[in-house]
Amino acid sequence: MHNIGRFALKNAFQSSCVHRVYLSTMKEKKVLVNGININYLKVGSGPKAVLCLPGALGSIWTDFKPQIENLSKSKFTLVAWDPPGYGKSRPPNRDFSPDFFRRDAGLAAALMKELGLDRFSLLGWSDGGITALVLAGTEPQLVDKMVVVGANAYIVEEELKMYESIRDISKWSERMRAPMIALYGEKYFRSTWSQWVDAFVSLYEQNAGDICKDVLPLIRCPTLVVHGKEDAMVAAEHPHYLAANIRGARLHIFEHGKHNLHLKFSTEFNSLFEEFLDS
C-alpha cells in the first residue's frame, strides 16, 4: 500500500507539472478584425470549437479562467476574447452605442472567421450571454450549440434600480473592485462602468427595456440556459423567458448559484457544459 501511495503521488505530481507547463504556453494574441485590434486566447485542439464571451468589463481571464484551464483540450478548441474596449482590446475605449450588443456579435463572428473557425458553439456569461443570443439569432448558420449563463433579453425596473445602486465603484467590496482596477486602472474602470449603467438606463427608457427579444425566435441551435437561484444581478424571470422563447431550449438552475456561478461552481458547471456539448 505504501508503494501504491507513492506511485499515485508521483503520478499526481507529474500530471500537475504537465498541467502547469501547458498553462504557461497559453499566449494571448491580437488580430485585426474590422479595423479593431482584438485580443484573444486560443487553446486546445479538439474538433468542437467554442467561443467564450465575457460579461460587462470582463476579460478572458477574469471571466473564464476555470473553463480555459480545465475544459477538455482534446474535445474542444476554446477561443476566449476581450470585446472592444475591454481587457487588452484597447484602444479603442469602450463605446456603448445603442447597437453595441449587435456590434460585438458581428465582431465575434468575424474573429472566428479570421481564425479559420467557420462553425462553433457559444459560451456566454452575463452581457456575453446577451451577445451570444444576438449572434445565434442573427448568424444561425454559424452556431452549433449555445450555453448562456446569467443572461437576459430585456430589463425590468428592479434591475435598473440595482444598477444605479452599484454605479459608484467606491461602494463595491475590495474583493470585487480590486481585479478591475488592476486590469483597467481606477479612472478608466470608474468611467466605463458608469457608462455601462447609462447604456442600460437608455435601453430601459428608450427601448422599453428590450435588449434582444426579437432574436430569440430566430435561434436554431440547441441551447442550454443556466441561471443561479441566488443571482442578484439578473431577475429570476429571465431564464424562464429565454427557455420559453428559444425553440427547444433546456433550463438548468443552480440552487445556490449567484451571478458568477460558472466560477464558484466551476467543476459542476464544466461537467454540465461538456455533457451538453457532447449530447
Q: Is 252 designated active site?
A: no
Q: Which of 59, 121, 231, 266 is catalytic?
A: 231
Contact (Cβ atoms closer than 8 angstroms) between residue 105 and residue 51: no
Q: Which of 82, 121, 127, 259 is catalytic?
A: 259
* Catalytic (active site) residue 165: no
Whole-angstrom distance, CA of residue 46 vs CA of residue 98:
37
Distances (CA, A) of 4 to 11, 12, 87, 124, 142: 11, 12, 46, 43, 49
Options 59, 89, 121, 126, the catalytic residue: 126
Catalytic annotation present for 231: yes
3-state secondary structure the chain: CHHHHHHHHHHHHHHHHHHHHHHHCCCCEEEEECCEEEEEEEECCCCEEEEEECCCCCCHHHHHHHHHHHCCCCCEEEEEEECCCCCCCCCCCCCCCCCHHHHHHHHHHHHHHHCCCCCEEEEEECHHHHHHHHHHHHCHHHEEEEEEECCCCECCHHHHHHHHHCCCHHHCCHHHHHHHHHHHCHHHHHHHHHHHHHHHHHHHHHCCCECCHHHHHHCCCCEEEEEECCCCCCCCHHHHHHHHHCCCCEEEEECCCCCCHHHHCHHHHHHHHHHHHHC
Q: Which residues are catalytic?
A: 126, 231, 259
